[in-house]
Amino acid sequence: MKRILLTGFDPFGGEQSNPSWEVVRRLDGLLIGDSHQIVSARLPCEFVNSLLILDAALRQHQPSIVICLGQASGRADISLERIAINVDDARMPDNAGAQPVDVPVVEGGPAAYFSSLPIKAIAQELHLNGIPASISQTAGTFVCNHVFYGLMHKASELTSIQRAGFIHIPYLPEQAVAHPGAASMSLEMVKTGILKVLESVLKTDKDLRIAGGATH
């Protein structure tokens, strides 16, 4: 049985919960097809410790697929990140009080890594299932991008990891109550969406070429 590692984050920014962990913990242990099983891990929303915990989970579970999830306040859909960049630039402190500015995630690492998920095929799969989704050209420069870059850097060294990437998800509706005008998505739909993502990953050898870019 191969393993799929899904990670979610601790709450941050004054929230009581983090939708990324709420969805990921509900998928823990689930079988996908007859060959893969999900294992879920919870990451602190901290620059340093997030990658330590991620590395430990990678060693423990030896997954062939890794998808890290994070909350994107204000975004309205399941947001498939295209690229991780080698910089931390925090506008607010992380949960440990650290606020790195213009520091590389990995000293001497390449400027960026592209996701190895078939993001265009995934977007199409989600759309066919009535689930809003889009390609994102930036995962920001906070802990989400930090984990994404750290993951892709590790994946570039570990041949056991076949596919890796990062997905941002909206607020849950109960969170959006406190953020007037902010978009949200139900937990049920995010959960269904992530299962569709995994189906798409497993059945796609070569990503589709469907336009998903941004003019700027």
Alpha-carbon gap, residue 73 to 200, rounded angstroms:
25
Task: By CB under 8 A, tell whether 11 contacts a copy of itself.
Answer: no
Per the annotation, the verdict on 168 as an active-site residue is yes
Take residue 83 and report the two structure tokens written for it: 């690229």
Residue number with CB closer to a copy of itself (39 or 115): 115
How many residues touch a copy of itself under the rule CB under 8 A: the total is 65
Among 17, 37, 99, 162, binds a copy of itself (CB under 8 A): 99
Residue 193's Cα: distance from chain center in Å?
13
Torsion of CA 32, 36, 40, 41, to 10 degrees: -150
Q: Which of 46, 68, 144, 146 is catalytic?
A: 144
Task: By CB under 8 A, tell whether 55 contacts a copy of itself.
Answer: no
Q: Which of 36, 46, 68, 81 is catalytic?
A: 81
Residue number with CB closer to a copy of itself (38 or 105): 105
Task: By CB under 8 A, tell whether 183 contacts a copy of itself.
Answer: yes
Indicate the DSSP class of residue 80.
Answer: E
Torsion of CA 200, 38, 86, 111, to 10 degrees: -40
Sign of CA dihedral 121, 127, 133, 135: positive
Q: What are phi and psi of 183, to 5 degrees?
A: -70, 160
Residue number with CB closer to a copy of itself (34 or 157): 157
CB atoms within 10 A of CB 119: 26
Residues that bind a copy of itself (CB under 8 A): 13, 70-73, 75-77, 82-83, 85, 87-92, 99, 101-102, 110-114, 120, 126-127, 130-135, 137-142, 144-145, 168, 173-174, 176-177, 180-186, 188-189, 207, 209-216
Residue numbers annotated as active site:
81, 144, 168
